[in-house]
């Protein structure tokens, strides 16, 4: 229900209320004041929303040509976000990091080079995002099933509660091939606003911050 519909409904119920309770004129003041406030506030909100929409720059991108530029921009924002929180992370191309995915970018923590984060674009053929263009951020734990992946599963719900969103995994069939990842996915439209880009970077930075903390906790438990 939008503001106009709400005000119309309010007027209708107000009339029924007044007819039923037969209030005196001096008893109707609060209802009248509330109605006027609704009208003024609704107008202010519409103006604010219009100005806000007009001020949000749009980053149009061509799904076939501009993916690399988009991923680099998100990585730059992730690096900046984490640096402000005391974490240095380096963005490298997948090829430079020895990975096969040429379009992907790897986010590497200098103090933890045995695991890394990856940001890539994909269009899954199966699963909840089947047929959709998405940006996928993932913590790659291949080769660390027992040392990191299984211990992190113990903390999965705790991590999700802190992050405020669900962490996805590979299918059982894929995990059986030795690929162990925690993932977050962002479905995309053909036009992406600066705010969308910032939000993806913020969530990716939070994902790195929280999962890194639990990786360190697991390491400390082993050495302690």
Residue in the structure block whose two tokens are 């933890």: 112
Helix (H, G, I), strand (E, B) or coil at 119: strand
3-state secondary structure of 155: coil
At 62, list the tokens.
């061509």
Q: Kindly compute the dihedral angle of the four CA atoms of residues 213, 214, 216, 217, in this order, to the nearest 10 degrees.
A: 120
As a whole-number percent, the residues of the chain with pLDDT over 70 amount to 66
Phi, psi of 110, deg, nearest 5: -55, -35
CB count in 10 Å sphere of residue 158? 11
- How many other CB atoms are found less than 10 A from the CB of residue 193? 15
Given a cut of 50, whether residue 40 has pLDDT beyond it is yes
Helix (H, G, I), strand (E, B) or coil at 189: coil
| 190-203 pLDDT tens trace | 677 788 889 999 99
Let me know: does 143 contact 115? Beta carbons within 8 Å: no
pLDDT digits (tens, 9 = 90+) for 69-105: 889 999 999 999 999 999 999 888 866 555 555 678 9
Catalogue all structural domains in the chain, each as residue range(s) with its CATH number: 3-55 (no CATH), 59-223 (3.30.1460.10)
Cα angle 76, 186, 125; round to 5: 125
Q: How do residues 141-157 score in pLDDT, each as one tens digit?
A: 999 999 999 999 999 99
pTM, two decimals, is 0.70
């Amino acid at each position: 229900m939008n503001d106009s519909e709400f005000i119309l409904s309010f007027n209708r119920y107000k009339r029924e209320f007044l007819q039923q309770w037969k209030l005196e004129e001096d008893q109707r003041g609060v209802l009248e004041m509330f109605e006027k406030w609704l009208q003024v506030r609704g107008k202010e909100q519409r103006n604010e929303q219009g100005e806000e929409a007009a001020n949000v720059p749009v980053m149009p991108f061509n799904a076939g040509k501009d993916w690399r530029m988009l991923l680099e921009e998100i990585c730059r924002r992730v690096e900046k976000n984490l640096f402000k929180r005391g974490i240095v992370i380096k963005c490298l191309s997948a090829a430079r990091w020895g990975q096969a995915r040429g379009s992907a970018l790897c986010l590497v923590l200098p103090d933890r080079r045995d695991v890394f984060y990856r940001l890539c674009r994909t269009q899954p053929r199966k699963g909840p995002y089947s047929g959709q263009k998405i940006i996928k951020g993932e913590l790659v734990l291949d080769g660390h099933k027992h040392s990191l992946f299984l211990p992190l599963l113990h903390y999965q719900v705790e991590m999700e509660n802190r992050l405020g969103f669900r962490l996805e995994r590979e299918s059982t069939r894929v995990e059986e091939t030795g690929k162990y990842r925690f993932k977050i996915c962002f479905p995309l439209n053909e036009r992406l606003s600066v705010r969308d880009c910032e939000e993806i970077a913020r969530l990716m930075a939070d994902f790195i911050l929280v999962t890194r903390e639990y990786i360190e906790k697991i390491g400390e438990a082993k050495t302690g």
